Structure 1
Amino acid sequence: MKTITRSHEWLILILMVAPFIYLGTLYNNLPERVPFHYNAEGIPDDYGPKYGLVLLFGGITAFLYFLFRYIPDIDPKQQLNTSNYRKLRVAIAACWSLLLFLLWYNTAHGAQSDTFLSFLLASVGLMIASIGNFMYSVRPNYFVGIRTPWTLNSEFVWRKTHQKSAPYWVAGGLLCVLLVFLVPTVWKTAVLLTITLGLAFGSALYSFVLYRQQSTNQQ
């Protein structure tokens, strides 16, 4: 088990460091001021010094690594130290790495805004699908998963909610990947947000209904 854990950890670190190695190969050829923020149509609307890319995104990457690395240690339920959770960390690291590669490539080569936005949002869709794949067997905890008052209060509701929601999250994430390449640019971000919010609200509503049914049956 320790060897498997170590292998996952090295893979996660490689995935998170790789975009910055790529950035290093581009750094000297970048303009002094580069895009830091994009609007909903993938057009830059804020700029900053290029060293800020390393500081800002390096800080975010480090935060994400340590956050997901040590969540299992601080979770009171101690249910996250599993191979399934480590696979989720690998999937999230891969999607984050892809997103950074897209940002760096666009910064250096100036891809068309529609193409850039499509691939950027598709990487988010892949992350949603990856989370859905993990959901099916996630154990009750306070940090990861569908954490509503009803799932946290009942292990049965937690398990059934995640088992029911998991395929919808996988399908919803893959649907996002497809639609962001098909719909007009002005609708791409709205489509991703609508599907994501729909998945979150639907999962929460299902947990509430299931909890009410369980409470009624126990009376």
Structure 2
Amino acid sequence: MPGVREGDVKYRRQRALTLAFVLAGFAASALAYPDLPARMATHWNASGEVDGTMSRLAGAFFLPALTAFVVGLLLAAPSIDPRKQRYESFRGVYEWVVAGTAGFLAYVHVLVLAWNLDYAIPIGQALAPAFAALLYACGVLLDRAEPNWFVGVRTPWTLDDDEVWRETHERGALAFKLAAVLALGGVVLPDYFLVFVVAPTLLAAAYATVYSYLAYRRREA
């Protein structure tokens, strides 16, 4: 196709889905805008109570704009990475995760709009399965990622040794998949939503970081 890069054609399904999610966020805001309150609830504490608000304009369009910005950065990363050739082995999975990230943010935005339109939605309980899906997708991506500068567990030890990268990402993938399963606890116990989502995610990230150091030390011994 003239004027279209090969990667854009190869991953057109993922790109189309990503674009659909970004546009859906803006469209939902435009449709709901006349009925939104002057001050929109945009943040909830651990108890599910509103503890942050924005003006109607900011509340309606900040998250769609943020989604577009994040997606743009993620799509640009493989092109500017000095190790761009490493992406080819996992680029398909990467593009699906980008689409999933856009979908996750669009879903969060729809929940925010619905709550501000007076729909009684338990925010934490509704977010838990979406977080679980995103964490599992991250686990899948970690399992496939080759050494690069943008994606994965990028510590001094994984970037210095490809074998340490491989070992760390195998362990990290399992840790994030387990965190995804634990995040589903927020569906059953919504009052502890943040505990089920944040704690396993932080533990998975810390485990992968520490493991990369220990694996490096073991190879250096």
- After TM superposition, is the score higher than 0.5? yes
Q: Which residue of 1 aligns with 2:149?
A: 142
Give CA-to-partner distance per residue, 1:91-112, whole Å, 9 cap, x none: 2122222211211111212425
Letter in 2 for 1:42: G
Say whether residues 1:93 and 2:102 are aligned partners: yes
Say whether residues 1:103 and 2:112 are aligned partners: yes
Verify the 8 A CA contact 2:48 2:124 in the aligned structure 1. yes
Instruction: Normalising by structure 2, report the TM-score.
Output: 0.88
Say whether residues 1:207 and 2:216 are aligned partners: no
Alignment of 1:140-219 (within 5 A): 140-177=147-184, 179-183=185-189, 185=191, 187-216=192-221
Q: Structure 1, unaligned stretches of length 5 or more?
A: none
Q: Structure 2, unaligned stretches of length 5 or more?
A: 1-5
Q: Which of residues 136, 144, 154 in structure 2 aligns to 1:129?
A: 136
Give CA-to-partner distance per residue, 1:48-86, whole Å, 9 cap, x none: 321112442233112112110101111111123522211
Structure 1 vs Structure 2 CA RMSD? 1.8
Verify the 8 A CA contact 1:150 1:208 in the aligned structure 2. yes
Over the matched positions of the two proteins, sequence identity in percent amounts to 25
Give CA-to-partner distance per residue, 1:159-209, whole Å, 9 cap, x none: 1111222122112112202x1022361x32133221111101111111111
C-alpha distance in structure 2 between counterparts of 1:12 and 1:107, whole Å: 25
Moved more, 37-46 or 152-161: 37-46
Say whether residues 1:77 and 2:83 are aligned partners: yes
Instruction: Normalising by structure 1, report the TM-score.
Output: 0.88
